């Protein structure tokens, strides 16, 4: 089992959604419960953070150098993030979630359309939806009945999309069409109690799916047929999300959560590991405000 190394003991209350920006040479991630966006280089240096008025739930790069699409609690915004300067909200989509709901986890597909989820903020009701944001700002519903939506990930050929309902311990696979629509929903992986809960995830260039284990202390790589291939051990239990990083996309950065884990000194840290497999570059969002 591989082991990850902490590069920033940021003590994120709920670290999530790591993003590697090749053009900026930086990792970005969110601390949902800490209401901040954080960033550093792959050595854990040049650390910076932006305090946000509302909880940031995910962050995606756009085609503009300093503009990011951010899922901000109950709405989606375009924000300018420059180290050393306050975050600037440039545009806000008019669609907002109802009270008691919040956004959770997102990824852009090959065409720049953004797949994202909503969830019951109390994590009690299966009232969450799986949604898509088009380049013109339109939002459409793809699926429903989720308690905690998590980890959309797209296969290298763009034909399969993976999505998770964490409390159900289930990862689903969908057939993805060229128009970004989804069909053929099916169970891909079911976690056991010993596995914890499936959280954020990402695909590598060979089609493997790397899944983070909330309350499981590791990241597991699954092959396209669902076989467990290898795992990465972490010295914390609440492992939340991962993304490939570095000029060669040969590093895996991993976010974690310090929430209710006071006895774990490294909980909430950002970790990195060399997994021996090349990853995929994150697609930018087509919507720029």
188 touches 173 (CB < 8 A): yes
In eight-state DSSP terms, residue 284 is P
Handedness of CA 237, 27, 129, 212 (dihedral sign): negative
Which strand ranges, in their side-by-side order, compose the sheet holding 36-40? Answer: 15-21, 26-31, 36-40, 48-51
Q: Is 121 a catalytic residue?
A: no
In eight-state DSSP terms, residue 167 is G
Is 55 marked as a binding-site residue?
no
User: DSSP string spanning 228-273?
Assistant: EEEEEE-SSSBEEEEEEESTTS-EEEEEE--TT-TT-TTTT-EEEE
C-alpha angle with apex 43: 218 to 282, nearest 5 degrees? 65
Is 16 marked as a binding-site residue?
yes
83 touches 41 (CB < 8 A): no
Strand partners, 209: 203, 222
Is 99 marked as a binding-site residue?
no
Is 3 marked as a binding-site residue?
no
Contacts of 227 by beta carbon, 8 Å cutoff, 6+ apart = none
Is 120 marked as a binding-site residue?
no
Handedness of CA 166, 101, 237, 241 (dihedral sign): positive
Which residue among 105, 165, 199, 204 is the active-site one?
199
Q: Catalytic residue positions?
A: 199
- The annotation places the binding site for a divalent metal cation at 16, 150, 199
- The annotation places the binding site for substrate at 102, 104
- The annotation places the binding site at 16, 102, 104, 150, 199
């Amino acid at each position: 089992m591989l082991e990850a190394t902490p590069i920033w003991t940021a003590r994120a209350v709920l670290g999530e959604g790591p993003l590697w920006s090749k053009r900026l040479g930086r990792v970005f991630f969110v601390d949902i419960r800490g209401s901040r966006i954080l960033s550093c280089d792959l050595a854990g240096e040049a650390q910076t953070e932006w305090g946000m008025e509302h909880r940031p739930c995910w962050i995606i790069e756009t085609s503009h150098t300093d503009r990011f699409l951010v899922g901000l609690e109950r709405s989606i915004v375009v924000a300018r993030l420059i180290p050393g300067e306050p975050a600037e909200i440039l545009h806000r989509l008019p669609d907002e979630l109802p009270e008691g709901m919040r956004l959770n986890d997102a990824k852009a597909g090959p065409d720049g359309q953004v797949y994202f989820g909503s969830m019951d903020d109390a994590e009690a009701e299966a009232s969450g939806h799986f949604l898509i944001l088009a380049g013109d700002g339109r939002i459409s519903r793809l699926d429903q009945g989720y308690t905690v939506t998590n980890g959309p990930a797209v296969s290298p050929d763009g034909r399969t999309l993976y999505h998770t309902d964490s409390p159900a311990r289930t990862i689903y696979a969908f057939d993805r069409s060229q128009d970004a629509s989804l069909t053929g929903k099916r169970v891909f992986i079911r976690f056991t109690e010993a596995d914890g809960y499936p959280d954020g995830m990402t695909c590598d260039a060979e089609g493997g799916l790397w899944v983070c284990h909330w309350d499981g202390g590791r990241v597991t790589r699954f092959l396209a047929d669902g076989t467990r291939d290898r795992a990465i051990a972490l010295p914390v239990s609440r492992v939340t999300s991962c993304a490939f990083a570095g000029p060669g996309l040969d590093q895996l950065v991993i976010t974690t959560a310090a929430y209710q884990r006071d006895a774990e000194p490294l909980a909430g840290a950002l970790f990195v590991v060399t997994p021996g497999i090349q990853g995929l570059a994150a697609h930018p969002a087509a919507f720029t405000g």
